[in-house]
Structure formats: C-alpha cells, structure tokens
Chain A
Amino acid sequence: MPGVRDKVAIIGMGCTKFDEHWDKDVKDLVVEACYEAFEDAGVEPKDIQAAWWSSVISGLLGRSLAYPLKLNYLPISRVENRCASGHDAFINACYAVACGAFDLVLVCGAEKLKDVGLAIPGIIDPGEPYTSRVKPVFPPPAAFAQLAIRYFHHYGIPIDEGKRTLAKIAVKNHYNGSLNPKAQFQRRITVEDALKAPIIAYPLGLYDCCGITDGAAAAIITRADLAKNYRDDYVLVKGVGMSCGMYQAEIQDDWSMTYIEENVRASRMAYKEAGIENPRKQLDLAIVHDCFTITELVIYEDFGFSPRGKAKEDVDAGTFELKGELPVNTDGGLKCFGHPIGASGLRMIYEAYKQLQGKAGPRQVEIRNQLALTHTLGGTPVDSNTAAIAILGLRGA
C-alpha cells in the first residue's frame, strides 16, 4: 500500500476558542476557524477546490460549509464517524490530495452542542444495529465507566487507588489547559479536587469527563510538492491509521474489555506508514482522545507508550506531563480544551501543527524527532469503536 506519507502537507490551520458560545451559531464558528486557516495559509476562499465537512449533529450536508463561507459550488463531502469524524474527514481529504484529484482543499469540523439544552449530547443516536429501539439506552460516561471497572478488576487495582491514577491524568490535562487561551477550562485542579468531585457515572467523577463544548477547527491541505509555495514551516502527513471494531465487547463473552483493540490496530497502521518503531521514543508529543481519563490511561497502553498494565507507573512517574518523556494532550485535551465532537480531530491536528512549528507558547514542548501523533475515538468500549489517527511531522522527520 503506497499510503499518503509525505504526499500531503498542511499549510494553514484555524481553531476557534472552544467554549460555551451562547452568542454564536455553528456558522459563526465555521467562519472564524476557516478564515483563521485561510489567513494562516495565505489563501483565499476562492482558491479552495474541494472541501470536507465534519459534524455529528450540527449540519448534515456539505452546504453547511458552502453557505457560511460562500464556497462557490465546490464539491463538499460531509463525514460523520462519531467522535472520529474530524480525523475521518481529514484522512479522506488527504487521500483526495495524495491521489492528485485536487491540489488545495479545506477540511473543517464544527459542533454546537450547547444549544441542545442539557449537558449531554445524547440526541445523537447511531441507530444501529437495533432499529426496534429495544436495547439499553445509555450516555457515554456509563459506557466508558465500564472500561474502568474492567481495567481495575483485571489488574487487581482497588477502585479508590484506580481513581487516584485517573485523577493525576485530569490534573495534568487541567494544568496544560491553563496554558492554553483557547481551552474551554483554564483552571488548575489538584488530585484531591478530582477525588472529591461528584460521580458522573460510577466510578468516574466530574473531572474524569471531558467538557461539552462549542467550537470549530479547520485545515488547509495541499500536495507536498506545492507546499513550499505557501510557507516553509508546512507540516507533512507522515501516516494515517483507522480501525473499526465489530461489537466484540457486546457479543463475544470472552472479550476482556481492558483495552481498545481499535486503538491498537489504528496506531500500528499509522506507525507502519510513518516508520515509527518505538513511539515512546520517536514521538515528540501525542494528542489523544481523553473523552474520559480512563480512556487516556488505556490509550497509553494501546499505543505502546506503556506496557500492558503498567500505565499507572508511567502516570506516577510523570511520563506524559508537559516536561515528561512523552507529553500527551499538551493543549489540555478533550478534558480541558473541550469536545465539540466533529471539530475535535481537527483541533488535535491544530495543536500538533502549532507544536511542530514551535508556536505553542507557554506549553511548547521540545521538538526533537519532529513527529506528533493525533487520535480520536468514536463509539464506546461496551460495543464498538472507530479509532482514527494522523501522525504529522516536519520535512526532516
């Protein structure tokens, strides 16, 4: 498989502040993110040849980009793959550019969750595989909470002790968020704050759960050989990976549910393309799908950052902190940057892009190998997921 490695470059990105945008609608957010990206790339809307739109509930058609931006009768695809929608849109745009179908395309993801009325984006129902509605209905926290129950049970970790490990992940992401003016939550917390917080879905408490947020993010990508016409510090796509599960957790009675196989598969696909053999050593940073702290803990192991069952030791050692061996979620993650679902994948790419360019301000990490991983995960561990990954790098990487 030839793949997309070094064939596609990001030349501009934009991202709104992620927030409760009571005074803005999704069109406002799209305009803000896309115009920041146009300006960053030094292009104009009329230069764009095609676009990909990522949204779960905030616009079902490609016209959701055409209308606010007045994109002139362009081909625009809408991509929806739950929380992985942003990455999916980005990856599909990369395929289109890599195969030579287009030279300059826009990818935008946006979500307006706070208009829904209650702090749960529960109105999104994938509707499959049951259309009879005769099935348990549950919001995401109660699904990921079961991952924590199984992980702790499997490794013999008492729940109180496990929650302390999770709290450290929340403290880290809150610290990183405090350095990010675009993050929804910019307040630092302590381990005790996290442990004292009310339960959202047992055993997960308030600080184990990501924000529910409005926001948009956008990328402008072009063929790698054209990128230097726009800027010198363009960022290359080094590898992409994606994997969809088959409902094993729900239907297979020997499925352990202590990890997420889709994460393993998607990461190995992306590592192979990017030529990564030791992700913990080779990656400069990773922006991963911390919808819940337990998800981030399991991701450390799924992605090979930590051996199975050993993520706790790395958390205790500060491995994934801003100054640690492999900083994870340098921008605050979903926990603090927020999680406007369709925008999140592109927000992660935004952070990786800025970090690789050395423009991350007070949260800038050391760029040694010029490689950054971004990842989103759609679905839940009690049924099935879509994991999507994009690994980005600078020219030398």
Chain B
Amino acid sequence: MVGITSYGAYIPKWRLSLEAFSRGKGEKAVAGRDEDSLTMGVAAALDCLNGMDRNSVDAVFFASTTSPFKEKSVSATIATVLDLRRDVLTADFANSLRAGTTALKVAIDMVKAGSARNVLVVAADCRLAAPGTVLEQTFGDGAAALLVGGNGTIAEIGGYHTVFDEIYDVWRRDVDLYVQVWEDRFVYTRGYLRVMREATSKLMEEAGVNPQGLTKAVFYTPDVRRVVELAKGLGLDPKAQLQDPLIGTVGNTGTAHALMLFVAALEEANPGDKLIMASYGNGCDAFLFEVGEAVAKLRGQRRAVKAHLQSKRMVPDYVTYLRWRELVKMPEPRVPMAVSYPSAVAIWRERNRIFPLHGVKCQVCGTIQYPPQRVCVKCGSKDSFEEVRLYDRRGKLFSYSYDFLRGTPIGLVNLEGGGRIFCELTDVDVKELKVDMPVELSFRRLDLWRSDGIYGYFWKAIPVRA
C-alpha cells in the first residue's frame, strides 16, 4: 500500500495581472520580493506536514530548476527548518522540470524497498522568462509537497512509466538568466505532445486502464491549447477529465506544476478515483494513482491549492515586479542600514534560532524567550532552559511601524502560548496594520544590503492567510 500519505502546496499571495504587461488575460502568481524557491518549498513542506508525525520522515527531497544555490543543499535547509532527525536522507533534484516527479519516483521506490518509512518530496520553481515574451505570460511561481509512505495512504501508486528524451525545446544554460525556447511548432510536435503521449499511453497500457476509466488526468501544462490537444489525442474528454492547469490564475510553476495540479486533484478526489499524473522535461514521468478512503481525512486540513488561490493581493504594477526580480538595475542605497556583514560562523552557531525558530523556555519560571538566552530575563536562572520551536504558533501584532525610506513594516509579535518575536512584516498593506492583528510566521529571504555572498533567511510575520 505505498502511495501519497499527505499533500501540501504554496502559492504566493502576490498576483500579477497579465494585462499589466501583455495582451494576455487573467493573472499569474509571483513570488514576493522576499521569496524564492527555497522559501516557497518550506511553506509547501509545512503545509504537507501539518499534523503529521515528523519523526517518521526518513528522507527529504527538494526539486527545482531555480534553487537559490548552485552549490548548497536546499533539502538540508528544509530538513533543518522542519526540525527533522539528523540522520534523514536529504537530496536536491535539479536541472529538469521533471525533477519533482523523478524525486517522487525515487521516494516511492525507497518506501517500497523498505529503506524509508516516509519521504517528503518538495518541488518549487520561480522561473524567469524574458520580459515581454509570451513565455512570461505563462510562467508562475509556486511550490508543492507530497509525503510518500506505506501507511495511511490517500492515493496508492498503481503504475509508472518514464521516457527520457534528448531535445533542445525549452532550456536554460548555466550562463542564462531567462529560459530559452525553440520555435513553437517544433517544441510541441516533436517535444511535449509526442513524449507526453508516449509515456502516458504506455502507462495506461501497462496498467490496463483505458481513458474512460480515468477520473482525472493531471498534466504538466506549458500551454492550455496544447494540453487540450494532448488530452483529446489520448481519448480523454478535456472538459470532464482534464485537471484545471491553473494557467491564467497561477501559471506554469515549472518543476512544481504537475505536482501542484495533482495536489489540487487530491483536494477534490473521492475514494476509488483513478488519477494519472505526468510531468514533462527532457522526457516524461507518468504515474497512475488510485485514491483511497483516507483522502477524506485531509479535506479542509490543508491550504494546498484551493485556499492559497483565494488568498491573494495584486502586485501594484509591472515595474514593482521587475524590481522584485532585480530585472531592472536600481541605484545602490548610499547609506547601508548596516555595515556589518553576515557571518557564516554566526549563522551556523545560531542555526537553531534562525531556521526552526527555536526560542527557550525557562524551566524554573516557564517564561518563553526569543532569541535564546543564557540567563532568564524574568527570574535570573542560569542555563536552565529547554528549546522550544516557535514558528508553528500564531500570534497577535503587539506593536508596529514602518519607515518611509525602506517601507518595510516591522513589529513585535506576541505568540499564542507565550513568547515574543521582533520581526519584519511582509505580504501586508501597511494600512491594514493594527494592534492585535492576527499574524502567522513565514520563512523568507532577507534583504541584506551587503550580503557577502550569503542569502539570509529568517521568519517574518504575515497576516493569517485564510
């Protein structure tokens, strides 16, 4: 009974109207200025693990073509944020939009082989297309996460087929900022349509299912017209059987896309449903899943795709978006807010305070304190603390302000169950700010003036997302 035991997703709050920069209709989800594939991956992972036993997670995979690092493990960062055991296997899958489903295949095989009880698969992407191109209209940012296990599966694996394919259709070289694409006709006829059809039809054949027997087909979608063409060609009814590809609302989220659509399908699925899911990128990974009774227990327990879709704010204009992605060169601020550089040593030393947001609880008087102290601020006891993870707690805004120069709101947040955090506020309209506003914590990238080659990550407060 190996399959999916939990799911989660993350869609940034920010949406960019396609009308703002193109003749396209609708909108796409874009990462905020303090978000990247790592932070979105963390958010999806947290959604997926909500209420799950973290001690039985034996591996964490992260898949992306837009990791903030060419050399540094994001899966290790995610495992640190999640407070997982030290002996968890972590691996990053990269360089192909298929990386997410490849990680899923490895996860399924590990659980089948008994080398892991549960494997967390996280995929996120934040791809850049050249401003003004058609590609830019379809790209969106987001993340998805699946927990693979052998107990309590909500969707059991029923079949798998893969093909690989050597082709320059969509690619990005090591020196490229933007994704490149060859001529449309070639890309679809010799690439996407041919390879997706090959893998999915072979999967159906091997699994002994016919198109009419499928409840939903979940296909990676670079273009709505083409996915409809693909579905029709396979004998599927696109209206009834094709999972909404979220183009025009979220966009093509790259490595995360097929997984994110699969999560959306699971949110609506009923026991007995048969789902086919296929991703594309120099080949195709295709899976068949049968939905089990347990699918009902996660309903309403995840933000996944549905809730995230509804919680949104428009990016004010296209220039703002270009500045967030650093696609327009802005003058450097003349006065740094801080002259000191981030120290790798200090980040390492403070890793428990930073990544899983550990504070301390005084074992004498019970006061929760952040950042961790040696001497209790309340009772003066020395070194009698236990570490407590604070990011799962919601809180209320105790005080706030923002300055006109940076415009970044900051504030003190009092957490439910004790503890106070001094942090930046993000994804918020400063006009909404008021004392006692309900907030939650979100892992974000810091805007370091002089980074010295380091990306700083830390928790910020956001208004609770519905």
* Residue ranges of A at the interface with B (Cβ–Cβ < 8 Å): 116-118, 120, 122-123, 125, 127, 129-139, 141-143, 145-147, 149-150, 153, 198-204, 246-253, 255, 257, 382-383
Contacts and interface: CB of A to CB of B under 8 A. Distances in A.
Contacts of A257: 398-399, 412
Nearest to A198: B404
A130 B346 contact: yes
Interface string B373-408: 100011000000000000000000011111111101
B410 interface: yes
Contact of B401 (A132, A201, A248): A201
A134 B401 CA distance: 19
A8 B430 CA distance: 51
Contacts of B337: 122, 125, 137-139
A252 B412 CA distance: 11
B412 A250 contact: yes
Interface of B: 333-343, 346-347, 349-350, 354, 367-371, 373, 377-378, 398-406, 408, 410-412, 414-415, 418-420, 422-424, 430, 433, 435, 446, 448-449, 456-458
A117 B335 contact: yes
Nearest to B373: A251
A146 B403 CA distance: 11
Please give me the 6 A-B residue pairs with the lowest Cβ-Cβ distance, nearest first: A145-B401, A133-B342, A132-B346, A146-B399, A253-B420, A118-B335
A149 B422 contact: no
B420 to A, nearest CB: 4
A253 B368 contact: yes
Contacts of A116: 335
Given A123-B336, A142-B401, A145-B401, 5 more contacts: A134-B342, A134-B457, A146-B412, A247-B377, A257-B398
A132 B342 contact: yes
A204 B339 CA distance: 26
Contacts of A247: 377
B377 A143 contact: no
B403 A200 contact: yes
Contacts of A132: 342-343, 346-347, 349-350, 354, 456
Contacts of A139: 337, 403, 405-406
B346 A150 contact: no
Contact of A382 (B347, B412, B414, B424): B412
B336 to A, nearest CB: 6
Nearest to A199: B404
Nearest to A116: B335
A137 B367 CA distance: 26
Contacts of A255: 420
A202 B411 CA distance: 12
B419 to A, nearest CB: 6
A197 to B, nearest CB: 11
B170 to A, nearest CB: 36
A133 to B, nearest CB: 4
B340 to A, nearest CB: 5
Given A142-B410, A251-B370, A200 B422 contact: no
B430 A202 contact: yes
B400 A133 contact: no
A146 B338 contact: no
B333, B335, B377, B399 pick with most chain A CB within 10 angstroms:
B399
A131, A247, A251 pick with most chain B CB within 10 angstroms:
A251
